[in-house]
Structure 1
Amino acid sequence: MNEVPALDKRAVKRADVSAQRQGVKGSQFYLGLAFFITVLVLLVFAGIKLSVWLEDEQKAPVQDIVVSGERTFIQEHKIEALIKRTQPGSFFELDVEQTHQTVEAMPWVYRASVRKRWPSGLEIYVVEQQPAAIWNGDMLLNQFGDAFDAQLNDKDLALKMQLPHLFGPGGSEQTALQGYRNMQSLLDVTDLYIVEMFLSERFAWNIQLNNGVKLNLGRTEFIDRLQRFVDLLPLLSQQKKQIDYVDLRYDTGLAVGWKTLDKAV
């Protein structure tokens, strides 16, 4: 009986071990591949579910809208209603820039900033318009002379009575407001203030004071002419007759129109 050499036995043994290792590696490869495919499928499925969840406004709505900044006329609930009407999607879909433009377009908002607050909030900071005058009867001028459309209701009657009424051609808002401020600063030394001011198409100035007196200041040197009126006011006040108007369109002096008895009554 022939015996297998010891060297051949070791070679066979190594071949068997190598084959076993190859089989194990092959099993591990397929198991790893299967695991990878499973994880990939799960990730794709999770991504789809996440996308659906993000798009579903019922699962990720804008729940908390916080409005800050000093406000007198801006009402928080109106801002909330406007945002929910113009941005009906989810928190993640909300367009911050568009929301910012929408809020700043509100009549009483001068400036605004908008930012998201995780996980479902929105923070809005507003700078309110500061009304300085009523312009042409139906608009308002802010402190910078910019006109904005914010109709005053009956509740704002006190504001209507406090603000001066300025009238002028389109585009003259800032000129009119600055002219009013310059003239009112001269009148601050008296008990008089401007209730109405008219700036004509030719930029002639006419004002009416709180005592009913109307002043015609003309187009040029209107500040100097108003100063002349202030200087002569003590003399005019000594008259027993009531002043109807004062025409100051002269190099020196002035013309006074007195109220008749009917007007005085």
Structure 2
Amino acid sequence: MFALSSDRGLALAVGGLPPARWLRRLWRAVRRVRIDDIRYPRFGASISTGALLGFVLVYGTVEGGHSDAVVQFVTARTGFAIEDVKIAGNVETSEIDVLQQIGLDGWTSMIGFDVAQARARIAELPWVESVEVRKVYPARLEVQIVERKPFAIWQHGQALDVIEGDGDTIAPFYGGRLASLPLVIGAGADKAAPGIVKMLSVYPSLAPRVRAYIRVADRRWDLRMDNGVTIRLPERNVAAAVRELAQLEEEYALLERDLTVVDLRLEDRITVGLSQEAADAHQDAFKQMMAARKKGARI
């Protein structure tokens, strides 16, 4: 315990030993302070109270996990609110959808805005392959989008989807300018389509006239042409069959004839199906020929 005694001012003893020098100096300094001479600053009590309340508010905000919201609020109202968003690279992606994914509310602060989260939300949009989001101070966001490339329209059942070159589905098809894409039909057509479309693309007399690539039992293809003729391709040696078809079209204008089906499934022969009108005309010609023969025989 400390013992206090008065000897020419004040002496301190601890366990009967003289006090340390620094302790004696401290006590002399305290004795020289005159309470009546202290001058407090004007509004000192108010300032102290405000500082205490501010400290409590900051402490409560941090402990309660609301610091980000407070930063957003303060900085947005001091000139750092996002006022402009520049979006580039989007064709199929709506700007409204992009803005909704960014999540601006009119008072979103540049300082507290999380670019990584915005990028992740925009990347969830179906047409977006990659996206960059950048802050341009004091008040603008720049969004650069790279979209997925549409390859074909895939019909499976009653559904129509836009697909990429690797067969992955992008989004449902609702019409518009994408209607000019190749139409592939049937189970498995989404994954097998790139091969047959590329194969036909080297034959300008055939490719522009194909209206639908129809996958049959996920083994082979039928081609539906613009005049309604169906080309039945084989399961194997497809390239050879397509090449032969192109030669027949160039030399004999095969697809301009009154046909319904050209069957190339057999390697040693080509089978054609006539339209009803052509079949009737052929039948009439045959009957006339047989009647003429009978008449000649009687003579």
Shift of 1:206: 1.0
1:146 aligns with 2:168: yes
Shift of 1:221: 1.3
| Residues 1:75 and 1:221: Cα distance change in structure 2 (over 3 Å) | same
Aligned counterpart, 1:15: none
Q: Contact between 1:241 and 1:259, CA under 8 Å: does it hold in 2?
A: no
Letter matched to residue 134 of structure 1: I
Letter matched to residue 98 of structure 1: Q
> Counterparts of 1:187-226 in structure 2 under 5 Å?
187-189=203-205, 192-226=208-242
| Residues 1:238 and 1:224: Cα distance change in structure 2 (over 3 Å) | closer
Give the alignment's Cα RMSD to 1 decimal: 4.1
Larger CA deviation: 105-114 vs 49-58: 49-58
> Counterparts of 1:12-91 in structure 2 under 5 Å?
22=29, 44=55, 51=67, 53-56=70-73, 59=77, 61-69=81-89, 71-84=90-103, 90-91=109-110
Aligned length: 233
Task: Work out the CA distance in 1 between the residues paired with 2:127 and 2:111.
Answer: 28
Residues 76-128 of structure 1: CA deviation (Å, up to 9, x unaligned): 23311332279x96544544333223212222222212233334432211012
1:232 aligns with 2:252: no
1:134 is aligned, of 124, 140, 153, to 153
SS of the residue 1:72 aligns to: coil
Task: Work out the CA distance in 2 between the residues paired with 1:107 and 1:159.
Answer: 15
TM-score (norm 1): 0.69
2:186 is aligned, of 135, 153, 168, to 168
Consecutive unaligned residues of structure 1, counting only runs of 5 or more, are: 1-17
| Residues 1:65 and 1:212: Cα distance change in structure 2 (over 3 Å) | same
Q: Contact between 1:139 and 1:151, CA under 8 Å: does it hold in 2?
A: yes
1:112 is aligned, of 128, 131, 143, to 131
Letter matched to residue 197 of structure 2: Y
| Residues 1:104 and 1:122: Cα distance change in structure 2 (over 3 Å) | same
TM-score (norm 2): 0.62
Task: Work out the CA distance in 2 between the residues paired with 1:236 and 1:260.
Answer: 21
Shift of 1:64: 2.2
Shift of 1:251: 1.4
Q: Which has the larger radius of gyration?
A: 2
Residues 145-169 of structure 1: CA deviation (Å, up to 9, x unaligned): 321114324xx1x431x21111232
| Residues 1:23 and 1:141: Cα distance change in structure 2 (over 3 Å) | same
Task: Work out the CA distance in 2 between the residues paired with 1:239 and 1:68.
Answer: 45
Consecutive unaligned residues of structure 2, counting only runs of 5 or more, are: 1-24, 281-299
Task: Work out the CA distance in 1 between the residues paired with 2:58 and 2:248.
Answer: 83
Identity of aligned residues (%): 20
Task: Work out the CA distance in 1 between the residues paired with 2:261 and 2:32.
Answer: 109
Letter matched to residue 159 of structure 1: L
Shift of 1:198: 1.2
Aligned counterpart, 1:97: 116
Letter matched to residue 171 of structure 2: D
Q: Contact between 1:242 and 1:258, CA under 8 Å: does it hold in 2?
A: yes
